[in-house]
Amino acid sequence: MVHTAVGYARMKNRLGAMACTTSIGPGATNLVTGAALATVNRLPVLLLPGDVFASRRPDPVLQQLELPWAGDASVNETLRPVSRYFDRIWRPEQVVPAALQAMRVLVNQAETGAVTLAFPQDVQTEAFDCFEGFLRKRVWHVPRPLPDEATIAQAVRLIRAARRPLVVAGGGVIYSAATDALRHLCEETGIPVGETQAGKGSLPYDHPAALGALGVTGTFAANGVAADADLVIGIGTRWSDFTTASKTAFQNSEVCFVNVNVADVDAVKHAGLPLVGDARATLERLAEMLAGWSVDDAYRAEAARLNREWDAEVSRLYALGHEPPAQSAVIGAVNDAARPQDVVVCAAGSMPGDLHKLWRTREPKGYHVEYGYSCMGYEIAGGLGVKLAAPEREVYVLVGDGSYLMLSSELVTAVQERQKLIVVIVDNHGYSSIGSLSRSLGTDGFGTLSRHRSNGSLGVDSEEPRDNLPIDLAANAASLGVKAIRATSLGELRAALEAASAEEGPVAIVVEVDRYESVPDYESWWDVAVAEVSDVASVREARARYKAARKHERSHL
């Protein structure tokens, strides 16, 4: 339910929110993962869980948690650390100030996330004399604040002095509807653009200034330019380790940062010059003040060349022809089937990294990958929220078999609500992402294949093959009421996608992929610690590589 609300809010650029209600007990605690996802991604959702009786007449009640040291606590305390605002309504008239505070947070672009108002069971039924003004329609205005002029002027001086500036476009570019402003700035100045997961689509993939994904899941184009950049202009990004490749992406000894962000906590990261303000308004002001200035023609031409070379690499990966298909070829087939205005949804496993590199974005809202929390099970529920927010668009949900098995039940909701989703279930017989990570750390994919336990162990990749678990994902999807199609080749997948486009209700397409045919990492790195002491030679080798890579980590102070 919360995942659906998050998908809806993101598709609405945080200008719309859903309310989610539950009872006290497991209904309430089931909200916690979704609340964390909403708050990490700074997306507004309103949570209204029930609570124990305020009067404590029937005490303890069914599902009540009793703590010997706190008589006023309930399981809803678990929602406090993952909520941007939390209140418990002990008396009915408290609804008035609590609702106003809830709305203050929900419409605050810098502070938004999950808002929780817990309602005791008896208070829910009580009446009170409400202020008439509280019930009138109220319009909450979302402002576009600008940084102060002196700070903008300082940023302009830094940009004009830079030889190899780079823009890093984050989710704030999309949420602020700043894509046109960014495109204008880049075309006028020649500054190239790398994109975070949330910022993908800030420029069309074929724009000559578009270098594509940056960081751990980045392209050779964006990562190569980032390594030499002397000025990095972060716009609406919170600078996660995936964006900075664990602080190894920017290797120029003179590099400095300018951060445009509505949240001051992000604007000061990497000791950057903080431009605390709305992305669109700030970009428009920067363009005015940079009028007539441009990077060297050679640097502009370098970015355009890298754009073409990367697009050729995407075409190569889309065209890999062996069977079962490579995951990159599956992405290419779906990308070819989708219209520019359609939306791809994903969240967890190896697929988000490949999508970040390979998906050819043509429209700002066409790419919806939840990677702030990378939550297994988000995909179908989140896709439903996207469809509710934008019913005119086709929604393609790409989900691995592991994540599908976490939360496939929202297919039933899609059937119930007559909401069409095209769900492509990529079957790699287990947990491909963690398997790949395990192999990189010297532990040979331990326990990541879906197979029977033998001699007390799920085994490693290099052992003799065992029988896969008898999981029939297509039959599972069909049992939930959707049209299910099996695709055993790339040609069958393309035919299935064409057939799915003609359907009126939700469709699930199951396609097996080669779990070992991965997309290159293009020399990016992610800081995942390796055991310092081990009896396993491959782990010791991985530790040596880890120590060598860590030498490139930098603190930008």
133 φ/ψ angles, rounded to the nearest 5 degrees: -65, -30
pLDDT attached to residue 516:
92
Cα(115)–Cα(45) distance, rounded to whole angstroms? Answer: 6
Flag whether pLDDT at 465 surpasses 80.
no
In which band, very low, low, confident or very high, does the pLDDT at 80 lie, cut at 50, 70 and 90?
very high
Full-model pTM? 0.96
Flag whether pLDDT at 48 surpasses 80.
yes
Each residue of 227-265: pLDDT tens digit? 999 999 999 999 999 999 999 999 999 999 999 999 999
Would you give the DSSP letter of residue 458? -
Q: Is 108 exposed, middle or buried (0-12, 13-18, 19+ CB in 10 A)?
A: buried
pLDDT attached to residue 321:
85
Helix ranges, 229-347 (H): 241-244, 264-267, 279-289, 297-318, 327-337
Give the pair of three-digit tokens for residue 393.
């668009």
149-310 shares the fold of 2-135: yes
Each residue of 339-372: pLDDT tens digit? 999 999 999 999 999 999 999 999 999 999 999 9
In which band, very low, low, confident or very high, does the pLDDT at 557 lie, cut at 50, 70 and 90?
confident
Provide long-range contacts, Cβ within 8 A and 24+ apart, for 51-55.
51/24, 51/76, 51/88, 51/118, 51/119, 51/120, 51/121, 52/24, 52/120, 52/121, 53/120, 53/121, 53/122, 54/90, 54/91, 54/120, 54/122, 54/123, 55/122
Cα(390)–Cα(194) distance, rounded to whole angstroms? Answer: 27
DSSP string, 206-219: TSTTEEEE-STT--
In which band, very low, low, confident or very high, does the pLDDT at 43 lie, cut at 50, 70 and 90?
very high
Flag whether pLDDT at 466 surpasses 80.
no
Q: Is 21 exposed, middle or buried (0-12, 13-18, 19+ CB in 10 A)?
A: middle
For the structural domain made of 149-310, what CATH number should be given? 3.40.50.1220
Q: What is the 3-state secondary structure (H, E, C) of 75-130?
A: HHHHHCCCCCEEEECCCHHHHHHHHHHHHHHHCCCCCCCEEEEEEECCHHHCCCCC
Q: Are 391 and 430 in contact (CB under 8 A)?
A: no
Would you give the DSSP letter of residue 223? H
Q: Specify the 3-state DSSP secondary structure of 448.
A: coil
For the structural domain made of 321-429+468-512, what CATH number should be given? 3.40.50.970
Cα(99)–Cα(108) distance, rounded to whole angstroms? Answer: 14
In which band, very low, low, confident or very high, does the pLDDT at 171 lie, cut at 50, 70 and 90?
very high
User: Computed from CA positions of residues 275, 278, 284, 288, in that sequence, does the dihedral angle turn out positive or negative?
Assistant: negative
CATH 3.90.1300.10 fits 2-135, yes or no: no
Residue-range domain boundaries for the chain: 2-135, 149-310, 321-429+468-512
pLDDT attached to residue 464:
78
Each residue of 193-210: pLDDT tens digit? 999 999 999 999 999 999
Helix axis angle, 31-40 to 2-11, nearest 10°: 20
